[in-house]
Structure 1
């Protein structure tokens, strides 16, 4: 390149200096000679750099439209003509300040605003236009630079976090063997299983932490029951007592305090056993949820009634761990049932986790329940995470079917905002008496509860037990062996009926015309509460519980009359004295619903009720407590033939569902009943309930319609008749054999009358 040749400005990038042999030449034409340092001249580079920076700043701040107006034309691009130098106009400080202030108010002025501003500042409109363009570009550049700085910072954080994860993955170890984990070689299923395993371990750790709070707590220890110290002879007929007692265990009428199984005391888990209980409960919860949700091949449908049948081989493959192999002599029963009930999920969970509400909800199934130990009451003000050790007996309302005694842990968990689960699993290895023979144990059983609109819940119940049923009487064996006596269908049917009953109790919008002789809603609730206690008392006293022993009076087979006595002392709910209970069960070749309708009808009552003495029975009023017409509480008046005798009132509750029916009644004092009708406390009304329990003799009779148990089947009925009689008002009196003979004759005569009447109506 010849010395002194200047490159045209349009070919040089703005704000850049070119190096030539002669020195530095800027885009403005300024030439800065490069000094010869060897000749001792001083260094001018610092001065040149500062001058270049100054020129750049001036160009950025004050560049006007002279590039377009005064720049080189197209004719200058041939290199033969030297381009004219650009002229740059530096704005005054006043002009810059005014335009800065205007820019803050309006970054995009229009032509009129630019002309007005140029006139005020003494500038050309085009200069104002370019200044605003440059200013906008500058602001955009600053904004992008700030965003880039933030993004660079976030990127550095992500990079460091990624490095930590990579380091953690490189150092990962197998939770089973402790060796390095080859994560890249895992299958998808194996990764999912390991993630699930980690989640379960976290849940175990969480519940174990809750349980650790109770490790130092003294364990519940219950001494022997006073009932065990009373001599039991054939003449005394195993006389016990109820009334005011220490908190040593549930009596036959369902109180839920204490901790005694039969004649031996029961203690809770020890400190070393608590982690095992927690781990077992968590595993049981996972099994229950899968059992409730899985279909084939784990569950298959029965060809006749569409009930779910468990595939045992598939169950063992799906749940290989469980609670161990089935003990010798036990038979497996598994069933599943789904229904919608009229109760919201929160209230239903509370009912299942509270032992008193649980026994009241299932009076015909649950007997003598009590809580042995509480590991956790839940978190966040509800039962999520609640875990407790319990004991209960599960019963069939007949002295011919032994109760199933189970010692188990109950665990509640909320799986989502609308789904809860409550699971039970037996703790056989933690029994107070490890040498006892296991006759029943409960594999993971319970229910999955899904919240639905309008305070309804969808409940899926799973019942999975292993039991020894060799002591069951032969007339009940088919029902028990089919799983219907203790299965999920019975739990669900009872739950549906009891939820309807509870909704009736809580109803407040009852029309005045439906109140009848009951003057107020408070009186209605008192009547229903009294009837509930009557039903609970009847169901708790009619089964073959370990708390009491029946004495057989005759040897004629299935219709043996079994009796036992109790002493009532200082119990406001029962009259004081010696009370004799008598019960028997028999088979009738009549469908269950026809037997139920016959026994609950007041018009046919004098055909079997000896105590009415042939008088006319009239229904004074009744309270419907379910969709089926047979579900109601009735107040009956017996008009005796002898007008000199005072009229007698009878409180009766009849209830029916897909699993069975009850007709339970008790004579009540007129004065006490008037107090209840006005809304008084029903707990002080003395009752001795008697009545009937009606079950189908086979699963074929359990097909249902909208009106209850189907009466079109060909099966028969299993009828239990039970009475409670006050034989002496002095609790310390001796029981006479004459009283026993009278009760035996009473129940035998009642059975004969019922058999004759139903057979006459159903030849």
Structure 2
């Protein structure tokens, strides 16, 4: 259930100079229309200049001070919310560390070494320690598992408290978790939803399990978005013959999204397919198929490859593809980074961050994203972007080249769901039929890892350039963790626009998102010339135009 809402903590300003001179403060409450206009403008430009503020004054019939103070308060409010969220996360991690430290100190006090005359562990003590290890292992496996199962929906998730984990493992044992989660729709034009929830997991009868969530805001954490409230929601899982499961899902959520969501996404969200039960089920089905295929230790007949020779190499490439998609999804929120709001007026969202963590190239990385509506069905848009013979028309990494597929791994029952290794040949030659083909070359060839899928509600195509050495490291193992292999993904998110009357099968909302390493130096992002940002913005704008031309999309879209 999606309910509209209005109101803001930034909607009151002092009304007149006369009231100030008289020593009295007169409250002025903005109308819902004024708040909607201010919120929409804030999403595109949090720091308006004087001319933009004057334009807002005229459009919304507000005074200059009212507009100025509203934006000041809104920026302060957003900053405070981010700080409170960070503090909450650190508080939870600190509590876990304190508990672990206390447990280790207690163990050290009572430990005795058998070689020094102390008694050895008996059978009962070993059983108790083994059970504790099982519980601890289960707890560690649960951290970030929700996010891994729904990587295209859950941007962040954290378990703050677990109630009942100290009890012995037995049937029908209630486990309550207090969790914080941030959900997204894979576009920087749609702000994420935040929930503080209590989750109950229980086997209610033999072979039937229930996972139920409900918002709980009685904690002293006011960072949670008040416009998002989850009423009792969740799923019922029933065991079926032949190692299958039947899942029923209910999403019962109240959310006010019209004030801060870009207009091209409002119909999609109002229809419920953005965050509704259908999307959870479609994602669950796709991820279960992928997990089943990932666990296969042999080379299935549905796969083919020129470079992957063993089941272990196949598993490592699939794991790298999963991490590539997760990194791409995390980048799309573009929060907590240096933003360049002036680019938003051109329809492009640009931000910059300094990366020093393993798993991505070190240095300054510019992220850019743009969304547009296309009057074609999502499946058609997906098929065109997936074609290798036309890739050089839109992909800057493939301009003037030939792209060939040297490996394909199925990740689902549909042929559209697969992971591919692409080879980009730097030179071409013309054959007897006048077509351009790749020349054989012993060097300078570039590879791309690409992961794509398509389901009933949309799809994704994510790719990242790789050199031969990095791919060899991925395949061989070479004592390198998959999480440490540097990769910088870019790609597309394809979804229905929610307007079934546009074309026979509905139109498409297409989001492009690029990541580019602009500097390997350790200088701060503010020291980088904004020309780098302008170049990245121009790159994504030109790519949008090339894709429009490839899809024969009219200029008004």
Deviations 1:617-660 (A, max 9, x none): 00011101111111000000000128697010000001111121
1:416 aligns with 2:205: yes
- Counterpart CA distance in 1 for 2:413 and 2:187 is 27
How many Å separate the matches in 2 of 1:437 and 1:494?
24
Q: Which protein has greater RCO, CA pairs closer than 8 Å, 6+ apart?
A: 2
Equivalent of 2:227 in 432, 436, 439: 439
C-alpha change, 1:502 and 1:644, in structure 2 (3 Å) is closer
Q: C-alpha displacement at 1:552, in angstroms? A: 2.9
Q: State the SS of the aligned residue for 2:423.
A: strand
- Which residue number in structure 2 is paired with residue 12 of structure 1? none
Partners of 2:149 and 2:369 in 1: CA distance = 24
Give the match for residue 508 of structure 1.
297
> Which residue in the other structure is 1:534 paired with?
324
1:545-585 CA distances to partner (integer Å, 9 max, x unpaired)? 5x4575334355xx61111111111x231111011111111
Q: 1:519 aligns to what?
A: 309
Q: Which has the higher strand share?
A: 2
Secondary structure in structure 2 of the residue aligned to 1:510: coil
1:713 paired to 2:504: yes
Counterpart CA distance in 1 for 2:418 and 2:329 is 17
Q: Counterpart of 2:522?
A: 731
Local SS of the residue matching 2:147: helix
SS of the residue corresponding to residue 268 of structure 2 reads: helix
* Aligned-residue offset at 1:736: 1.4
| Equivalent residue number for residue 490 of structure 2 | 690
C-alpha distance after superposition, 1:179-212 (max 9, x if no partner): xxxxxxxxxxxxxxxxxxxxxxxxxxxxxxxxxx
Residue 477 (str. 1) matches residue 266 (str. 2): yes
- 1:671 — aligned with what? 469
Pairing partner for 1:617 from 398, 403, 410: 403
1:554 aligns with 2:343: yes
Residues 343 and 350, structure 2, Cα contact 8 Å, conserved in 1: no
| CA separation of 1:462 and 1:760: change in aligned 2, threshold 3 A | closer
Q: In the alignment, is the contact (CA less than 8 A) between 2:452 and 2:459 conserved in 1?
A: yes
What's the C-alpha RMSD, in Å, of the aligned pairs? 3.0
Between Structure 1 and Structure 2, whose CA radius of gyration is higher? 1
CA offset digits 1:689-733 (Å, max 9, x no partner): 0000001001749xxxxxxxxx98342100000001001001225
Q: What displacement does 1:675 show?
A: 2.2
How much does 1:458 deviate? 0.4
Correspondence for 2:551: 758
Uncovered stretches (5+) of structure 2, i.e. residues with no partner: 1-45, 49-81, 93-137, 429-440
What are the within-5 Å matches in structure 2 for residues 373-392 of structure 1? 373-377=161-165, 379-380=168-169, 384-392=173-181
Instruction: Tell me the equivalent position of 1:365.
Output: 153
Q: Which residue of 2 aligns with 1:743?
A: 536
Q: Please state if 1:460 is matched with 2:260.
A: no
Deviation of the 1:489 alpha carbon = 0.2
**Uncovered stretches (5+) of structure 1, i.e. residues with no partner:** 1-231, 235-258, 269-349, 702-710
SS at match of 1:407: strand
Change in Cα spacing, 1:261 to 1:484, as seen in structure 2 (3 Å) is farther
Structure 2 counterpart SS, 1:380: coil
Pair 1:598 & 2:384 matched:
yes
Question: TM (normalized to structure 2)?
Answer: 0.69
Secondary structure of the residue aligned to 2:390 is helix
**Counterpart residue number, 2:445:** 647
Between the aligned partners of 1:662 and 1:351, the Cα distance in structure 2 is 31
CA shift for structure 1 position 488: 0.2
SS in 2 for 1:373: strand
Deviations 1:155-201 (A, max 9, x none): xxxxxxxxxxxxxxxxxxxxxxxxxxxxxxxxxxxxxxxxxxxxxxx
Q: How many residues align?
A: 413
Contact kept, 8 Å, 2:228 with 2:253, in 1: the verdict is: yes
> Any idea what SS the aligned residue of 1:673 has?
helix
Where has structure 1 moved over 6 Å in runs of 4 or more? 350-353, 642-645
CA distance in 1, matches of 2:267, 2:488: 32
Aligned-partner Cα distance in 2 for 1:512–1:751: 38
SS in 2 for 1:363: coil
673-682 or 466-475, larger mean C-alpha shift:
673-682
Q: Which secondary structure state, in structure 1, belongs to the residue aligned with residue 343 of structure 2? A: coil
Matched, 1:722 2:510: no
Q: Does 1:567 align with 2:367?
A: no
Corresponding position of 2:12:
none
- The aligned counterpart of 2:236 is 448
Distance in 1 separating the partners of 2:193 and 2:445: 43
2:414 pairs with 1:628: yes
Match of 2:95? none
CA distance in 2, matches of 1:351, 1:609: 43
TM-superposition CA deviations, 1:15-53 (whole Å, max 9, x none): xxxxxxxxxxxxxxxxxxxxxxxxxxxxxxxxxxxxxxx
Cα gap change, 1:383 to 1:693, in 2 (>3 Å): farther
**Are the equivalent residues in 1 in contact too, given 2:409–2:418 (CA < 8 A)?**
yes
Once residues 663 and 352 of structure 1 are traced to their aligned partners in structure 2, the CA distance between those partners, rounded to angstroms, is: 31
Structural mapping, 1:159-558, within 5 Å: 262=85, 264-265=87-88, 354-377=142-165, 379-380=168-169, 384-433=173-222, 438-470=226-258, 471-511=260-300, 514-516=303-305, 517-543=307-333, 547-548=336-337, 550-554=339-343, 556=345
Return the TM-score normalized by structure 1: 0.51
Indicate the residue corresponding to 1:36 in structure 2: none
Cα distance change of structure 1 residues 405 and 673 upon mapping to structure 2, 3 Å threshold: same
Please state whether the residue corresponding to 1:675 is helix, strand or coil: helix
Following the alignment from structure 2 to structure 1, what is the Cα–Cα distance between the partners of residues 172 and 337? 34
Summarize the Cα distance change of 1:356–1:382 in structure 2 as closer, same or farther, 3 Å threshold: farther
